[in-house]
Structure 1
Amino acid sequence: MAVITQYVVVREGVEKMTFTSKKEADAYDKMLDIADNLIPFIQGGELELDDNTTEKLAFYLASHKDTLANLLKGAPVKAPTPAKSSKKKTEPEKV
């Protein structure tokens, strides 16, 4: 019989995510804390977003906190390189 240690992130009695390492569980929990703190900040703006969109935006910003912190410091963001398509165009481009 194997013994498996699991770390479960629970918010308001709801199981959010299960991890096999404490470090990952703590990082996820911290990201959820950041998202929870961002929601009132976003709602305080003049964006007029619905609650679902506000939560998604807060979650996105929290999950990309390092990139966001660099942007707020004035560092340029590295643009993702687009994936090259292996398909050839069959029609000429219209100009």
Structure 2
Amino acid sequence: MTFTSKKEADAYDKMLDVADNLSEFIEESKIVEDKEQLEQLAFYLAQERDTLARLLKGGPVKKVASKPAKKADVAAIKTAANQ
């Protein structure tokens, strides 16, 4: 991916790190067994981390989730996980 600023690139890298950590967390639960679905779920939750944080604090859903994770984004998570 290409970014117009270092800030955007850093934010995306942070989101990938969060997705990787979420993937490991969810994988330990054994709730989602399909690896692709697990990675897509982790990426989705990382993208929506502000809404998720609000929900975990007992707040309402203010925003309906954005688009599902793209295969390219899932591939980026795999790449980040292997580094």
Normalised TM-score (structure 1): 0.63
In structure 1, stretches of 5+ residues that fail to align are 1-16, 81-95
Q: Please list every run of 5 or more consecutive structure 2 residues that lacks an aligned counterpart in the other structure.
A: 65-83
Larger radius of gyration: 1
After superposing on structure 2, the runs of 4+ consecutive aligned residues of structure 1 that deviate more than 4 Å are: none
Greater helix share, 1 or 2?
2
Higher relative contact order (CA 8 A, sep 6+): 2
Q: 1:43, 1:37 → 2: CA distance?
A: 10
Higher-strand-fraction structure: 1
Identity of aligned residues (%): 66
* Shift of residue 79, structure 1, vs aligned partner: 5.6
Q: RMSD between aligned alpha carbons?
A: 1.3
Aligned length: 64
Deviations 1:26-50, CA, capped at 9 Å, x for gaps: 0000000000101111011131421
